[in-house]
Structure 1
Amino acid sequence: MVSRDESQDDLMRLLLSVARKDRQAFQLLYGQIAARMFGLCLKLAGQRELAEEALQETFIQIWHHASEYHSDRGTPLGWMMTIARYRTLDLMRSRKVRQAAGDEQLEQLEDHRAGPLDHSLRNAGSAQLTGCLEELSEVQRDSILLSYYRGFTHDELAETLSSPIGTVKSWIRRGLMALKRCLER
């Protein structure tokens, strides 16, 4: 059985090789994490096609930006899973915008103002916020990201996450408090 540290060391070696554009290392990296990453994309997107597209875009981004990884950004797996999470959420947002733009009955324009998470990213530094997000439980992180990036209401989150609304509110509240504490360190 491979220890967690050995697994992270292996991912680090592969990521360093990918940064040097080693295609075989990229293939090995894909084989090690694609299934887990796809699971995250599918859980967030709720649609297989969108999850597959997010996974593909994530690996393209990893191929082009592997040299930008450094340990300040968390573990190699954490860094790559964060890329997958953000790519999925970005695709979900862009699809929502495209669908809304095609609906002739809607007369609203998209609001391009920065949201609270955008302000946090700028003020705290995206690397620090990403690290703090990784410290949250998966349900807290997903609840916060879905509410801020997709604009889900508490009712929509409860339905999407198949959990009672009170539980979802607690996840968000506790997650935001944990993020605040982490960012204040």
Structure 2
Amino acid sequence: MVTSNSEQDELMGLLIAVSREDRQAFQQLYEKISGRMFGLCLKLGSQQELAEEALQDAFIQIWHRAAEYHSDRGAPLSWMMTIARYRTLDLMRSRKAKQTSGDSQLEHVEDQREGPLDVSLRSAGTAELTGCFDELSDVQRDSILLSYYRGFTHDEVSEALSSPIGTVKSWIRRGLMVLKRCLER
């Protein structure tokens, strides 16, 4: 996500105009960054429909929250990409909850190999698991969902969450410990 200073200045100017409800500036902003944002949403969500919905939701948030942006929140592009990233993760989480809400047990990970949580997860019903996920911090939950349910490597999770790999590994490790304790109750 390396951008030039002139591009950052241009994005800053567009954001300022959008904060004043300038529709033409919003259209220009969309044309300038929607491709990159969609690529991120698609990479995270792995589904075109989800990525399109996340992109639309992200731009709605940008329209409504442009006045809240200031430079200590990072570069304009980084701020907007973060909105898209978290909107994608929220949609993935909500769709996963809807998809598994009627299941009595969880199945194997996508590649059909046993994962480290499979024994505990098979013995715990979805309601218990959902309750346990509620005990995790957002970053722990996102890290675990991306790693174990989307099959991301630690490097990919690190990139998706814009966090150092050591931090991501700690979130996953601590989150798994919380889940284990919760499921053993």
Q: TM-score range by the shorter chain?
A: 0.5 to 0.7
Matched, 1:108 2:117: no
Matched, 1:30 2:30: yes
Matched, 1:72 2:72: yes
Which ranges in structure 1 are unaligned for 5 or more consecutive residues? 119-144, 159-164, 181-185
Matched, 1:92 2:92: yes
Aligned residues: 144
Aligned counterpart, 2:4: 4
Identity over the aligned pairs, expressed in percent? 53
Which ranges in structure 2 are unaligned for 5 or more consecutive residues? 107-124, 171-185
Q: Aligned partner of 1:108: which letter?
A: T
Kept after mapping to 1: 8 A contact 2:38/2:52: yes
Aligned counterpart, 1:176: 166
Query: How far off its partner does 1:155 sit?
Result: 9.4
Q: Deviations over 1:102-131 (max 9, x none)?
A: 33567321122132736xxxxxxxxxxxxx
CA distance in 2: counterparts of 1:67 and 1:41, whole angstroms = 24
Structure 1's 47 and 29: CA in aligned 2 closer, same or farther, altered over 3 A?
same
Does the residue aligned with 2:152 lie in a helix, a strand or coil? Answer: helix
The TM-score with structure 1 as length reference comes to 0.66
The TM-score with structure 2 as length reference comes to 0.66
Aligned residues: CA RMSD: 3.4
Q: Aligned partner of 2:139: which letter?
A: L
Kept after mapping to 2: 8 A contact 1:147/1:157: no
Q: Aligned partner of 2:143: which letter?
A: S
Does the residue aligned with 1:21 lie in a helix, a strand or coil? Answer: coil
Structure showing greater Rg: 2
Query: How far off its partner does 1:91 sit?
Result: 0.4
Matched, 1:157 2:152: yes
